[in-house]
Amino acid sequence: MTSLAAYGGLFVAAFAAATLLPAQSEAVLAGLVINGGYSLAVLIGVATLGNVLGSWINWLLGRQVERFKHRRWFPASPAALARAENWYRRYGRWSLLLSWVPVIGDPLTLIAGTLKEPLWSFLGLVGIAKLVRYLAVAAAAQSFI
């Protein structure tokens, strides 16, 4: 596989994994690390960038939630949305450091947009969280080499 295809595939996997779509980027990163032949720093950077951009899409969608939350097809009930908003209000922007956690991370980034979290703090905190996660995945994968 060419380097461009490997990095591009990792970016797409990381981007998709950060949206509300079910996807897995950790396995792709681990596989590329174990396979070798790729810059570890670039792999971590590409995965982090893709994942943060995917989370940014969630943030943008969250900014539009008010327009659609009462529609029948909307995936979350008004009660579930209210619970998530209350949780975010209680723990604040620092909860975005948990944006890497499966199941809760993606909805958390959506709620941050809904509650109008400033983009600068959103990107900073989510970027830190995603970077630390990919550093941990890369370190774990290197232990198999």
When divided into structural domains, the chain yields a total of: 1
pLDDT of 76 reads 66
pLDDT at 16 over 80: yes
- What's the pLDDT at 33? 97
pLDDT tens-digit map of 85-142: 888 889 999 999 999 988 788 888 989 999 999 999 999 999 999 999 999 999 999 9
Tens-place pLDDT, residues 48-98: 999 999 999 999 989 998 787 777 776 667 777 787 788 888 999 999 999
Q: What is the residue range of 109's domain?
A: 3-143
Of 12-16, 30-34, 36-40, 78-82, the one with minimum mean pLDDT is 78-82
Output the DSSP codes for the chain. Answer: --HHHHHHHHHHHHHHHHSSS----HHHHHHHHHH--S-HHHHHHHHHHHHHHHHHHHHHHHHTHHHHTTSTT-SS-HHHHHHHHHHHHHHGGGGGGGTTSTTTHHHHHHHHHHTT--HHHHHHHHHHHHHHHHHHHHHHHHTT-
